[in-house]
Amino acid sequence: MEITADQPLIGDAAGPEVMEAVAAAESVLSRRYGAAIRLADPEELDGTGRSVVVRVRVAATPFAMPRTLVVKRYPPAVGDRDPFAHEAVSHQLLTALPVEDRPAPEMLAHDVGKRLVVLEDLGRAPRLAEKLLGADARAAERGLLAWARAMGRLHATTAGREADFDALMRRQGVKCCQDPLASDIGAALARLPDLLATSLGVVTSEAAATAARQSGRRVETSRFRAFSSSTSCPDNNLVTSRGVRFLDFEGGCVRDVVFDAACLRVPFPSCWCAFALPPGMSEAMLAAWRAEVGSVWPELDDDAVLLPRLLDAQLLWVWLSTWRALPRMLDPLTAGAHDIQVPPRSAVLAARWSRLRENAAALGVGEIADHADAVVAGLRGRYGSAAIELPVYWAFRQSN
């Protein structure tokens, strides 16, 4: 049916924030293309809670445009972190890549004043989380390997683009371009020993603390740098016919690629819905990642180069996630809150420290292995059976 000027394009059921986002997108697109563009049928999508995310239909346009688009609109920034700036700049950087190398939706328009981006709609392809929580182990395995390959391609195609990213951030008016996790990692390195002592009775030796600080410096000064989406949550990875596509760049930045690769060994360390992977899966994912980055950094094919750096990054992820989780686990108001669909945080932490102990021992780094062993014992002493075993993702249980 042809839409006339007096017909409403947005249903009454749409909330005011959705209606404002759609109206802002119409304005931005019309200015971008130089002619009126009208949008209809808004469908609110799941977001991070920091933005309004809406799928819309392109109802009227004089140009050839996709049938549907995705609109993300952000509230004003609070504090010194601006997720909109990271989102917009990340999409600018990635949209400039050749189509065959583009690992994310194309950005059609954005507006700093309206704090809005308009993106290509990748459709209703399943997210990696759906594969992992489904009933098909082979599909879950293919999804994980595709994610690892996509991460490697992202690193390889954006190597050497740090100056471009920084220039785009400055153009947005952002003075600081560092990894948004950097300050949190610094806080974890400084404060976790005291937190472990008071909450679990674990003493962090000076050797272990020194090793952690040295790991932080090596990751911070790494020369293996490229763009990172800065989130590993399986909800933010769309499994399409063209491979995995990344969503959500609210923390997008340029950083050490091995820090990202450690997410293959510490599965999805930035979220708490993470289960375990079956034996050998992390190693297969790491091999898939190395196959993509080897053309840019051939030295990372050498275990003597990669594995110590991987341990550095793994240690930082484990310290960071523990520093973030323990206060919530100790708070009487939140300690008992637990979604039965996800494992308890004590089990997640115990699994991460156990893997750190295993990998540190394999490299002969005794101070890290001994400290990790003490933390595992402390977690199990305080949380008992809740910290004993982390089950594998549902898809891999179905195959047993």
CATH number at residue 299: 3.90.1200
Least confident of 11-25, 121-135, 145-159, 252-266: 11-25
Judgement on whether residues 114 and 158 belong to the same structural domain of the protein: no
Residue 113, both tokens: 């004043």
Judgement on whether residues 190 and 227 belong to the same structural domain of the protein: yes
Q: Express as a percent the part of the chain with pLDDT over 90.
A: 77
Residue 117, both tokens: 């981006």
Assigned domain for 381 exists: yes
Judgement on whether residues 64 and 145 belong to the same structural domain of the protein: no
Any residues with CB less than 8 A from the CB of 224 and at least 6 apart, and which? Answer: 256, 257, 258, 297, 300, 309
Judgement on whether residues 69 and 166 belong to the same structural domain of the protein: no
Assigned domain for 182 exists: yes
Whether the predicted pLDDT of 176 surpasses 70:
no
Q: Read off the pLDDT band of 48 (50, 70, 90).
A: low
Domain that holds residue 45: 16-75+109-120
Tell me, what's the pLDDT at 97? 94
Q: Read off the pLDDT band of 177 (50, 70, 90).
A: low
Name the E strands within the chain. Answer: 38-45, 52-60, 68-73, 107-111, 116-120, 225-228, 237-240, 243-246, 253-256
Judgement on whether residues 113 and 169 belong to the same structural domain of the protein: no
Judgement on whether residues 234 and 333 belong to the same structural domain of the protein: yes
Judgement on whether residues 113 and 151 belong to the same structural domain of the protein: no
Whether the predicted pLDDT of 107 surpasses 70:
yes
- pTM attached to this predicted model: 0.91
Tell me, what's the pLDDT at 6? 33
Assigned domain for 248 exists: yes
Instruction: Tell me what the mean pLDDT of segment 194-201 comes to.
Output: 97
201-238 per-position pLDDT tens digit? 999 999 999 999 999 999 999 999 999 998 888 999 99
Judgement on whether residues 334 and 375 belong to the same structural domain of the protein: yes
Judgement on whether residues 256 and 307 belong to the same structural domain of the protein: yes
Least confident of 64-78, 290-304, 357-371: 64-78
Assigned domain for 11 exists: no
Q: Which residue among 84, 99, 120 closes a domain? A: 120
Least confident of 142-146, 288-292, 389-393: 389-393
Q: What's the domain count of the chain? A: 2
Tell me, what's the pLDDT at 211? 98
240-288 per-position pLDDT tens digit? 988 999 999 999 999 999 999 999 999 999 888 889 999 999 999 999 9
Select from 129, 139, 105, 137 the least CA-distant residue to 237: 129
Q: How many C-beta atoms surround the C-beta of residue 145 within 10 A?
A: 17
Q: Taking a C-beta distance cutoff of 8 angstroms, is the pair 147, 237 a contact?
A: yes
Residue where the block lists tokens 């700093």: 112
Any residues with CB less than 8 A from the CB of 340 and at least 6 apart, and which? Answer: none
Distance CA 285, CA 356 (A): 17
Any residues with CB less than 8 A from the CB of 68 and at least 6 apart, and which? Answer: 55, 56, 57, 58, 121
Whether the predicted pLDDT of 336 surpasses 60:
no
Select from 147, 87, 155, 146 the least CA-distant residue to 119: 87
Tell me, what's the pLDDT at 300? 98
Assigned domain for 115 exists: yes
Amino acid at 279: P
Least confident of 84-93, 128-137, 228-237, 256-265: 228-237
- φ/ψ region of 256 (left if φ > 0, alpha if ψ in -120 to 50, else beta) reads beta
Q: Which residue among 120, 152, 175 closes a domain? A: 120
Judgement on whether residues 194 and 302 belong to the same structural domain of the protein: yes
Q: What is the mean pLDDT of the chain?
A: 90
Any residues with CB less than 8 A from the CB of 392 and at least 6 apart, and which? Answer: 275, 276, 277, 278
Assigned domain for 371 exists: yes
Q: Which residue among 65, 94, 120 closes a domain? A: 120
Dihedral angle sign, alpha carbons of residues 114, 119, 125, 130: negative
Q: Read off the pLDDT band of 4 (50, 70, 90).
A: very low
Judgement on whether residues 364 and 235 belong to the same structural domain of the protein: yes
Alpha carbon distance, N-terminus to C-terminus of the chain:
52
Task: List own/partner pairs for 16-19 with CB under 8 A and 24 or more apart.
Answer: 17/52, 17/73, 18/42, 18/44, 18/52, 18/54
Assigned domain for 272 exists: yes
Select from 128, 140, 141, 130 the least CA-distant residue to 284: 141
Judgement on whether residues 142 and 184 belong to the same structural domain of the protein: yes
Assigned domain for 197 exists: yes
Q: Read off the pLDDT band of 8 (50, 70, 90).
A: very low
**3-state secondary structure (DSSP) of residue 255:** strand
CA-based max dimension of the chain: 73
